[in-house]
Amino acid sequence: MINHKLFAGTAIAAALLASTSAGAQSVPVPAGTTPEAQPANGVGQTALANDDIIVTATRRETTLQKTPIAVSAFSQATLDRQQVRDVTDLARFVPSLQFTQQGDQSAVLLTLRGIGNDSAYTEVADPEVAIYIDGVYSSRAQGASVLFYDLERAEVLRGPQGTLFGRNATVGALSLITAKPKFDGVSGYVEAIGGNYSRFGSRGAVNLPLIDDKLALRVAFVTERNDGYADFQQPPVAPGIDPAAFVTMGKKYYARDQYSARVSLLFKPTDRLTWNLSAEGFLDKGAPVIGLLQTPRPGTAFWSTLSDTAPDTDRYSVALRSDINWDFRDGMRFEYIAGFTRIGGSTQTDADAGALPPTGGIDPKTGKLLYLGGFGQNATVNSRYDFESHEFQLKSTGSHTFDYIAGVYYAHEVNRIRFDVDQRDGYRFGSTRAFVGSFIQADREIDSLAGFGQVTWNINSRLRATGGLRYTHDTKKDVGGRNVTAFGCPATGPCNINIFGQFPNATADQLVALLNAQGGAFAISNNDVKGSWNKLSYLGRVDADLTDNILGYASISTGFKSGNIQDGGRTTNPENITNYELGLKTRLFDRHLTLNVAGYYSDFTGYQVNQVLNTRDAAGNVIASQIITQNAKGATAYGFEAEAVATITPVDRLQVSAAVQKTRLKTLVTADGRFDDQGALASQRDLAGNELAHAPRFSATATYEHDFKLNGGGSITPRATVHYETRSFLTFFDGDRTNRFVNGVNVYYGQAFDEQKAYSRTDLAVRYNAPDDRYLLELFVQNVEDGKIRTNAATFGPTQYAPVFLSNYQPPRTFGGRVRLNF
């Protein structure tokens, strides 16, 4: 088993290093390294006594203001105050960071600086923003929603991080650093939170030194649940429509029911050897998101859905992470980072979202029932994604003329999934089948091997030059993947043979045999494929201390995302990006104002986009249809980002983050599958010049808080956060620019359905901190305006009819309180 290999590898490495260094004498902390970080500086960040935030964006500990990278850093205290439960909440506070959520795979997809991919949620598609937890890559988008709890800090690195963080950090990386055990005594906290929609959550941690200065343990946990935001609508009342086909009670869409726990060990047998080891489990029993009608039907509430498929999520993840640091000689450190993750489970969702309710009635010509609706359901029947990685680093410590880091990296991923689709012209009972399929991918594998090195030349006390290279070789393959599909109804035999979720452990051959024995007309298509890609990424950077409190830097860097394998034996070429950046990090007005700014220009090539491919017979009839990934020419993006923290008075603080950006799609000739037949040449058009999705021209977040000091040492702190964005598009089609004929009528749909209009969102809170921070009480309101903030745009309905427009949404107004006890 992979986890056995991980334990064996880390245990052997630790034993060898311990025996080698057992006789080593303790040495002073080298110059340039960081002492134990303490929460200080009023905004809840992790800071030193001199108020400098510590980050590891360069794979070594440095202060934020001396790190020549555009990076945002948040301590757990700051995340708690802003009600940040996961990465979807974090997006408001990071310049240029946006997100969307995908339902049937329970995935969270990130966009940074306008570049991302809303389809990078399958077992073979990779994101452009890499996520790391304690230096271990999180391979699947389903893992991005894991709850933020008991963290030392969260760092968001903007711009390509290909040299040190590798593939898929095309436009940036999210790095989560968990809180580590300490030797300084028993401590901990426990917290409870409650609110509307029956929200209840809890979290806590305890730190236990086991052997003085040798072994320490930390245990942390979190639970988070709330009822779903979308109520169920009552079934339609129409002739021939069975109300039993519709869901009216039970778990609702947008519900949360999540649990996680982490056990961490710190083992320090000598002053030169440190081993951090952690095990973490996560369980999600909530419900997926669902598309809601952008314009509700008369008599229905906005937060409601006409559902004929009950929502269900049953997903889990387990992870082991190990980090061994050995200072085997003065000024030199060996580090071995290893990890294993398994993500799996099932999800079921309503794919039609109740967009076309059946109307019932009788066809006067045939005498048969007319349903005039649309039915669709999707399900991950079962899935399991196993990922392991090993990284070996050799790096300098302390201060030298040349500071360096070199290493090798290997990752292996084995994925399997069965994904079922059921689509009908009508509704669940008695309607004509349009398409059914079971996509059985038994063995999809990814191997990634890389070697990297980076050197910083400290030219003098104020000027530095950095160069880095990384060579990556990726291989992806599908062994035995099969699609079991049927279109329409067979010429003879029954039409409503159910494939959905049937015989969940059957192979494709077994499934076809079982279904066709009942009179079905199912066929198998082959997905066997293998692809390999190589890339040399680079970084060049110059930074200088322009004054004691101003750091300036200029860089050119590249990022790489490998190609894809696809159903039908197809492959897609890689994505690449080249980024040019200038930045300033400043401390002004006697360090009362921290202002960091960055300007960038990115040239993005090989954009991997999903499109529908139709296969036709000689008569022009569609006989097969599938989504494939194609390479667009690419895009350009440029912009300006700023972050500021101002201590206006000893009790008044203001934090601001803002971004101005412009994106432009290069040539992409395609048809808009929401309205057009993808196979019709007349429908194709060039999207050159369109803006990319999730890229508002301007966005900003401002947070202000004031401490009212109380007699006895306590304080009351009101806090207000306002987030604002200009309008943005939710796909790269930028609405609909073409007049269309629907049932003989000229129709122009415009842009409103595909556009998130400019909006502002306000969050308010007030908290009481007891003397010596023994406990705190807090009340909060999120999304005070109750704004309907869309994260995607979609359509439902055949192209010959006027489509229904749908969107997933951020949560509505929520409110609640929390109480925390520290010990």
Averaged pLDDT for residues 553-582: 92
Residue 537 token pair: 């990424």
Among 180-194, 319-333, 432-446, 742-756, the least confident range:
742-756
The pLDDT of residue 426 is 80
Q: What are the tens digits of pLDDT across the range 235-257?
A: 988 888 889 999 999 999 999 99
Q: Are 38 and 179 in contact (CB under 8 A)?
A: no
Residue 508 has phi, psi (to 5 degrees) of -60, -45
The pLDDT of residue 50 is 43
The pLDDT of residue 47 is 38
Q: In 60-161, at which residue ranges do the beta strands (DSSP E only) sit?
A: 62-63, 70-74, 97-102, 107-112, 115-116, 129-133, 136-138, 151-158
Confidence of residue 612 (pLDDT cuts 50, 70, 90): low
- β-bridge mates for residue 434, sequence order: none
Q: Which residue has the higher pLDDT, 244 or 683?
A: 244
Integer CA distances (angstroms), 352 to 291, 649, 795, in order: 9, 54, 9
Averaged pLDDT for residues 673-684: 69
d(CA 320, CA 3): 8
Instruction: Give the type of residue at 650.
Output: P
The pLDDT of residue 686 is 84
DSSP label of 429 = T
The pLDDT of residue 22 is 38
Sheet holding 97-102, edge to edge: 97-102, 107-112, 115-116
The pLDDT of residue 632 is 82
Integer CA distances (angstroms), 448 to 139, 391, 481, 558, 747, in order: 12, 11, 21, 18, 49
Tokens 């967009």, residue located: 355
Mean pLDDT of all residues belonging to the chain: 87
Q: What are the tens digits of pLDDT across the range 293-350?
A: 999 999 999 999 999 999 999 999 999 999 999 999 999 999 999 999 999 999 999 9
Q: What are the tens digits of pLDDT across the range 487-544?
A: 877 777 777 778 888 899 999 999 999 988 888 888 999 999 999 999 999 999 999 9
Averaged pLDDT for residues 208-228: 96
The pLDDT of residue 7 is 44
Q: What are the tens digits of pLDDT across the range 536-548?
A: 999 999 999 999 9
Among 75-89, 134-148, 231-245, 593-607, the least confident range:
134-148
Averaged pLDDT for residues 403-426: 93
Averaged pLDDT for residues 174-189: 95
Res 224 pLDDT > 90:
yes
Q: Which residue has the higher pLDDT, 253 or 123?
A: 253
The pLDDT of residue 185 is 93
Res 19 pLDDT > 60:
no
Averaged pLDDT for residues 266-284: 97
Instruction: Give the type of residue at 205.
Output: A
- β-bridge mates for residue 583, sequence order: 553, 598
The pLDDT of residue 30 is 32
Confidence of residue 431 (pLDDT cuts 50, 70, 90): low
Averaged pLDDT for residues 562-578: 89
Q: What are the tens digits of pLDDT across the range 578-587?
A: 999 999 999 9
Averaged pLDDT for residues 415-421: 93
Instruction: Give the type of residue at 445.
Output: E
Q: Which residue has the higher pLDDT, 727 or 20?
A: 727
Instruction: Indicate left, alpha or beta for 272 from its phi (over 0: left) and psi (-120 to 50: alpha).
Output: alpha
Averaged pLDDT for residues 601-608: 93
Res 742 pLDDT > 80:
no
The pLDDT of residue 45 is 41
DSSP label of 90 = H
Among 185-189, 643-647, 669-673, 783-787, the least confident range:
669-673
Confidence of residue 21 (pLDDT cuts 50, 70, 90): very low
Res 20 pLDDT > 60:
no
d(CA 204, CA 259): 12
Q: Are 474 and 447 in contact (CB under 8 A)?
A: yes
pTM over 0.75: yes
Q: Which residue has the higher pLDDT, 13 or 661?
A: 661
Res 775 pLDDT > 90:
yes
DSSP track, 471-483: EEEEEEEESS-EE
Q: Are 642 and 658 in contact (CB under 8 A)?
A: yes
Q: What are the tens digits of pLDDT across the range 81-107?
A: 999 998 889 999 999 999 888 767 667
The pLDDT of residue 263 is 98
The pLDDT of residue 821 is 98
Confidence of residue 681 (pLDDT cuts 50, 70, 90): low
Among 220-224, 333-337, 459-463, 745-749, the least confident range:
745-749
